[in-house]
Amino acid sequence: MRSKALEGIRVLDLTQIYAGPYCSMLFADMGAEVIKIEPPRGEIIRDNPPLVKEGEGGPHDRSRSGYFLTLNRNKYGITLNLKHPKAISIFKELVKIGDVVLENYAPGVMKRLGIDYPVLKEVNPRIIMCSVSGFGQWGGYSERLSFDIIAQAMSGMMSVTGHPDSPPTKVGTSLGDVSASLHGAFAIMAALWYREKTGVGQYIDVSMQEGMVAILEGGIPRWTVGKELLTPIGSMNPHECPMAAFRCKDGYIIIATVGDEHWQRFCRAINRPDWAADPGYSTKRQRWEKKYILQEEIEKITTQYTVKEVGEKMDGERVANSPIMNIQQVVDDPHLNERGYFVEVEHPIIGKAKIPGIPFKLSETPGVVERSSPLVGQHNELILGKYLGLSRAEVNQLQAEAVL
């Protein structure tokens, strides 16, 4: 059996909802031992759809969520009531044998619980703690309540998303959460590498707002350097044209060109050599400034053909293009399935479920999805027995005392 890239790393995961659980999922997929620590009744997204119908999912009513399953595969699950002093003591004992603490409570909660970084650093000087929050742990906005849509709104992302005549529009998925997850995971890996060299742990402060600002592409310098304020342009690209969705007889097709050579190919594909020779279209800036005129002219042609027919024309000249697939088509996509992207897991309540797999492939230490998400408190006895030496009777007593 191949070794795992992060085998031997132990993550204590206090996070809920999306940004934190996705981050810890990346570690679990790469072989880290992720111990998900939930409140006694489990975290809030155990109620997120799709849910196995009540009565069809067995006795574990809080373990019926396909959403939770996707984000929490490969993790061990325990419960701790962190408002109970004994639970805090147990958590500190786990910190002694941990490498990473990941949390996404509101700023100040960890301190009120008595387990903020200065405390945990005394418990284990090698510990790396990562806090993910809407606006970071300090600053004028730090105490504001935040969710993905707020991060999208206050990063500028919503100001450039949608069509010119549409109301402010969020990206179709929780990109604010995902961006924070990925930046947090990179920061933790950087901290682990530094600790490998020095033996010193550290604290990481991840802001969802800053994570979203970081992926605005050229939006910031377009304003700070060029004094050009980007606005919504639908499916168009802020730098290149044509690069957008174009109407066909039976739907829409994406056509994407980058630079002058691609433009020449596109003109051949669409049988408009006059456009290729037009000095008014000779640079990408000229084409971009005429993007709406070009879209109208292009659609006069594409609407005469089906998506498939236009795609074949583009393929003939190696112009990037694609149909716009819905979720069902993505799941059935032969390319993704040939590469083995989707994985099937067996969950004791949900049954067999196809879920997203690992979106990168390491040649020597590929990740693997080995286990489904844990039931509420499924591994209390395993983890507390293994690391704290507690017996089954002692674990049962802690549950009776509302510690677990």
221-250, pLDDT tens digit by residue?
A: 999 999 999 999 999 999 899 999 999 999
The verdict on 145 and 275 lying in the same domain is no
Q: What is the CATH number of the domain that holds 248?
A: 3.30.1540.10
pLDDT at residue 121 greater than cutoff 80? yes
Other CB atoms within a 10 A radius of the CB of residue 301 amount to 15
The verdict on 297 and 209 lying in the same domain is no
pLDDT at residue 86 greater than cutoff 80? yes
The verdict on 361 and 304 lying in the same domain is no
φ, ψ of residue 302 to 5 degrees: the values are: -65, -30
Would residue 373 count as lying in a domain? yes
pLDDT score, position 62? 86
Q: What is the pLDDT of residues 19-72, one digit of tens each?
A: 999 999 999 999 999 999 999 999 999 999 999 887 776 767 888 999 999 999
pLDDT score, position 277? 96
The verdict on 150 and 255 lying in the same domain is no
The verdict on 251 and 108 lying in the same domain is no
Would residue 202 count as lying in a domain? yes
The verdict on 317 and 362 lying in the same domain is no
pLDDT at residue 16 greater than cutoff 90? yes
The verdict on 203 and 284 lying in the same domain is no
* Boundary (domain end) residue, out of 324, 345, 374: 324
State the residue range of the domain holding 389.
10-214+337-400
Q: What is the pLDDT of residues 313-367, one digit of tens each?
A: 999 999 999 999 999 999 999 999 999 999 999 999 999 999 999 999 999 999 9
pLDDT score, position 1? 58
Would residue 291 count as lying in a domain? yes
Catalytic (active-site) positions: 177
Side-chain-facing half-sphere of 97: CA atoms under 13 Å: 14
The verdict on 36 and 181 lying in the same domain is yes
The verdict on 95 and 206 lying in the same domain is yes
Would residue 223 count as lying in a domain? no
Q: Which residue has the tokens 């980058």?
A: 258
* Boundary (domain end) residue, out of 292, 324, 356: 324
φ, ψ of residue 289 to 5 degrees: the values are: -65, -20
Instruction: Residue 116: name the closest of 80, 92, 147 by CA.
Output: 92
Number of independent structural domains in the chain: 2
The verdict on 369 and 256 lying in the same domain is no
Q: What is the pLDDT of residues 129-187, one digit of tens each?
A: 999 999 999 999 999 999 999 999 999 999 999 999 899 999 999 999 999 999 999 99
Would residue 99 count as lying in a domain? yes
Would residue 232 count as lying in a domain? no
Q: Is the peptide bond before 242 cis (omega within 30 degrees of 0)?
A: yes
Give the pLDDT band of residue 293 (cuts 50, 70, 90): very high
The verdict on 102 and 150 lying in the same domain is yes
3-state helix/strand/coil string of the chain: CCCCCCCCCEEEECCCCCHHHHHHHHHHHCCCEEEEEECCCCCHHHHCCCECCCCCCCCCHHHCEHHHHHHCCCCEEEECCCCCHHHHHHHHHHHHCCCEEEECCCCCHHHHHCCCHHHHHHHCCCCEEEEEECCCCCCCCCCCCCCHHHHHHHCCHHHHCCCCCCCCCCCCCCHHHHHHHHHHHHHHHHHHHHHHHHCCCCEEEEEHHHHHHHCCCCHHHHHHCCCCCCCCCCCCCCCCCCEEEEEECCEEEEEECCHHHHHHHHHHHCCCHHHHHCHHHCCHHHHHHCHHHHHHHHHHHHCCCCHHHHHHHHHHCCCEEEECCCHHHHHHCHHHHHCCCCEEEEECCCEEEEECCCCCCCCCCCCCCCCCCCCCCCCHHHHHHHHHCCCHHHHHHHHHCCCC
Q: What is the CATH number of the domain that holds 97?
A: 3.40.50.10540
Distance of alpha carbon 71 from alpha carbon 261, whole angstroms = 42
Query: Could you give the C-alpha distances from 56 to 41, 62, 71, in angstroms and in order?
Result: 20, 13, 22
Would residue 112 count as lying in a domain? yes
Q: What is the pLDDT of residues 254-276, one digit of tens each?
A: 999 999 999 999 999 999 999 99
pLDDT at residue 190 greater than cutoff 80? yes
The verdict on 195 and 283 lying in the same domain is no
Tell me the whole-structure pTM to 2 decimals.
0.94
Would residue 233 count as lying in a domain? no
pLDDT score, position 38? 97
Q: What is the pLDDT of residues 343-358, one digit of tens each?
A: 999 999 999 999 999 9
* Boundary (domain end) residue, out of 274, 301, 324: 324
